[in-house]
């Protein structure tokens, strides 16, 4: 059965996958108008559904593209902000933000990772990734969701070719040969938007993907993640930890202000029990995983829990539609790769659309969109498979597998080409970089 699933998963990546006049660029005043002052019929070149990190990154990447863009978001307040979500922003993502022009606003409020430590339970062999391994000023960064979101939203105000419609719901979509039509609603007001291309950045449960009939495959893991902010007694020294345990990985991410974000993966029932503990009992149990390298621990804010699953869409594109971010794929949180895949999707699709526009191509035709599908599907599949492999390899106590993984850790620490390959994979430098990243001056010299 497992072999059949893997064969199906592999086959998915092998599936192959007249420009309308550009609308006048709206003034900044028109760009900032509330929805109820908009005309009843709006026409755009690209309509994006979903104003989270990935949707905003994509919209910002289209600044000065000559394309008229609508960004449609249903909620004024982000659930991820209210839950205090935080992310590992890998080197490639930081380069993409830099290429867009928004990294300067983000950088003062993110924390660099200067060392990464991987370990297997109580086994003394610890793999250390250091700055000199990449000849880079950082191995990545850690940022709260609100930091990235606010910087992107502020930058969006400079993108006068983008109209931000929020809070607006998409009630229905109709795909036609030459356009896609969206029925929009805000309160009692309804109107339609016509666009050459619809881009779904509306999350793992993507209504747009489901309405389009795009199938997915994947599975729920037996684990859930408890996440929390911790303030240790001693400095975190900009070190990120990934500690593999038999019941799931445990990550410590350094944030500004000597705050750490923990991601504690455990079997679902155990994770629910951990979440239900009072603060004192939680900290007592946490110390057994966290270690004593930073002294006493203080809980900051609330804890939360989220399930873990793997999902991959059978295709990323069809006529007049493209999927990006969690609408196309979700992976295990080990290594913190999820949001980075979506940021790469956004940069890659923006690059392809800008080139197509310059060449006078129809943005929504399959010939154009399949370039994006071929580019990103294989790269994303590799990360999904890699994170799944890591979780299964380390989340067990079968003796031959324990010996195998500890041999792997020894190779990572002692064989430099193996170490460099793994590190480049983690920081996003192992595959084709979008042009936005190539414009960044902060690329490491290898």
The residue with greater pLDDT, 399 or 24, is 399
Whole-number average pLDDT of the chain: 88
Residue 371 has pLDDT above 70, yes or no: yes
Query: So what's the pLDDT on residue 13?
Result: 39
- Mean pLDDT value across residues 228-252: 95
Render pLDDT for 285-299 as a digit per residue (tens, 0 to 9).
999 999 899 999 999
Q: Which fold has domain 2-114+144-218+310-397+429-438?
A: FAD/NAD(P)-binding domain (3.50.50)
Query: So what's the pLDDT on residue 443?
Result: 62
By DSSP bridging, strand 297-313 and strand 162-165 are unpaired
Give the sheet arrangement for strand 111-112, strand by strand: 86-89, 141-144, 111-112
Residue 344 has pLDDT above 60, yes or no: yes
User: Among 98-102, 203-207, 379-383, 406-410, which stretch is predicted with the lowest mean pLDDT?
Assistant: 406-410
* Percentage with pLDDT > 70 across the chain: 88
The residue with greater pLDDT, 392 or 327, is 327
Cite the beta strand spans of 134-215 per DSSP E. 141-144, 162-165, 169-175, 180-186, 189-200
- Mean pLDDT value across residues 82-102: 91
Query: So what's the pLDDT on residue 204?
Result: 95
Query: So what's the pLDDT on residue 123?
Result: 85
> Tokens 């993984």 identify what position?
405
Confidence of residue 442 (pLDDT cuts 50, 70, 90): low
| C-alpha span between 171 and 190 (Å, rounded) | 9
Phi, psi of 285 (to 5 degrees): -70, -35
The answer to whether the beta carbons of residues 292 and 221 sit under 8 Å apart is no
Residue 37 has pLDDT above 50, yes or no: no
Confidence of residue 332 (pLDDT cuts 50, 70, 90): very high
DSSP for 211-223 reads HTT--EEEEEEEE
DSSP for 235-278 reads --TTEEEEEEETTEEEEEEEEGGGEEEEEEEEEHHHHHHHHHS-
Residue 309 has pLDDT above 80, yes or no: yes
Residue 15 has pLDDT above 50, yes or no: no
Residue 30 has pLDDT above 70, yes or no: no
The residue with greater pLDDT, 18 or 233, is 233
The residue with greater pLDDT, 225 or 15, is 225
User: Among 84-88, 128-132, 230-234, 322-326, which stretch is predicted with the lowest mean pLDDT?
Assistant: 84-88
Query: So what's the pLDDT on residue 49?
Result: 98
The CATH H-level (homologous superfamily) assignment of domain 220-309 is: D-Amino Acid Oxidase, subunit A, domain 2 (3.30.9.10)
Written as six digits, the tokens of 113 are 């990772």
Residue 234 has pLDDT above 90, yes or no: yes
Residue 201 has pLDDT above 60, yes or no: yes
Confidence of residue 106 (pLDDT cuts 50, 70, 90): very high
What b/e sequence results for 185-214 when a residue is b if at least 16 CB atoms lie within 10 Å of its CB, and e otherwise?
A: bbeeeebebbbbbbbbbbbbebbbbeebeb
| C-alpha span between 245 and 233 (Å, rounded) | 24
Confidence of residue 122 (pLDDT cuts 50, 70, 90): confident
Query: So what's the pLDDT on residue 146?
Result: 94
Query: So what's the pLDDT on residue 431?
Result: 87
Query: So what's the pLDDT on residue 438?
Result: 86
The answer to whether the beta carbons of residues 251 and 336 sit under 8 Å apart is yes
- Mean pLDDT value across residues 74-94: 83
Q: Residue ranges per domain, the chain?
A: 2-114+144-218+310-397+429-438, 220-309
- Mean pLDDT value across residues 239-254: 94
The residue with greater pLDDT, 57 or 335, is 57
The answer to whether the beta carbons of residues 92 and 437 sit under 8 Å apart is yes
Confidence of residue 10 (pLDDT cuts 50, 70, 90): very low
Q: At what angle do helices 53-61 and 338-358 cross, to 10 degrees?
A: 30
Render pLDDT for 146-186 as a digit per residue (tens, 0 to 9).
999 999 999 999 999 999 999 999 999 999 999 999 999 99
Residue 202 DSSP class: S
Instruction: Output the CA–CA distances (angstroms, integers) from residue 420 to 22, 79, 268, in the order listed.
Output: 45, 37, 34
Nearest to 268 by CA among 315, 308, 321: 308
The answer to whether the beta carbons of residues 301 and 84 sit under 8 Å apart is yes
> Tokens 């509330």 identify what position?
34
By DSSP bridging, strand 41-49 and strand 69-72 are parallel
């Amino acid at each position: 059965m497992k072999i059949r699933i893997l064969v199906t998963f592999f086959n998915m990546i092998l599936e192959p996958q007249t420009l309308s006049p550009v609308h006048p660029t709206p003034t900044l005043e028109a760009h900032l108008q509330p929805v109820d002052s908009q005309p009843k019929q709006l026409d755009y070149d690209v309509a994006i559904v979903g104003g989270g990190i990935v949707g905003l990154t994509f919209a910002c990447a289209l600044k000065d593209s000559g394309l008229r863009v609508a960004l449609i978001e249903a909620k004024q307040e982000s659930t991820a902000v209210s839950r205090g979500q935080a992310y590992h922003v890998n080197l490639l993502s930081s380069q993409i933000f830099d290429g867009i022009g928004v990294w300067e606003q983000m950088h003062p409020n993110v924390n660099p990772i200067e060392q990464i430590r991987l370990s297997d339970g109580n086994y003394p062999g610890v793999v250390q990734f250091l700055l000199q391994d990449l000849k880079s000023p950082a191995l990545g960064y850690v940022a709260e969701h609100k930091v990235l979101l606010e910087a992107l939203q502020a930058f969006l105000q400079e993108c006068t070719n983008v109209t931000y419609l929020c809070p607006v719901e998409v009630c229905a979509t109709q795909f036609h040969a030459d356009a896609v039509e969206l029925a929009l609603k805000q309160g009692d007001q309804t109107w339609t938007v016509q666009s050459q291309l619809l881009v779904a950045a509306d999350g793992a449960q993507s209504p747009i993907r489901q309405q389009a009939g795009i199938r997915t495959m994947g599975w729920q893991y037996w684990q859930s993640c408890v996440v929390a902010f911790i303030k240790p007694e001693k400095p975190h020294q900009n070190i990120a930890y990934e500690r593999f345990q038999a019941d799931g990985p445990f990550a410590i991410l350094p944030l500004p202000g000597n705050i750490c974000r923990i991601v504690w993966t455990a079997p679902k029932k155990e994770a629910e029990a951990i979440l239900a503990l009072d603060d004192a009992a939680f900290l007592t149990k946490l110390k057994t995983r966290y270690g004593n390298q930073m002294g006493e621990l203080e809980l900051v804010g609330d804890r939360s829990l989220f399930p873990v699953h793997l999902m991959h869409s059978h295709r990323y594109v069809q006529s007049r539609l493209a999927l990006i971010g969690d609408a196309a794929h979700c992976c295990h949180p080990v290594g913190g790769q999820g949001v980075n895949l979506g940021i790469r999707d956004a940069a890659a699709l923006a690059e392809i659309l800008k080139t197509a526009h310059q060449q006078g191509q129809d943005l929504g035709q399959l010939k154009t969109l399949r370039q994006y599908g071929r580019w990103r599907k294989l790269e994303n599949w590799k990360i999904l498979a890699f994170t799944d492999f890591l979780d299964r390899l380390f989340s067990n106590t079968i003796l031959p597998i324990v010996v195998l993984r500890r041999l792997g850790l020894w190779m990572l620490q002692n064989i430099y080409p193996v170490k460099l390959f793994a590190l480049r994979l983690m920081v996003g430098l192992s595959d084709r970089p979008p042009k936005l990243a190539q414009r960044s001056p902060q690329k490491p010299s290898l």
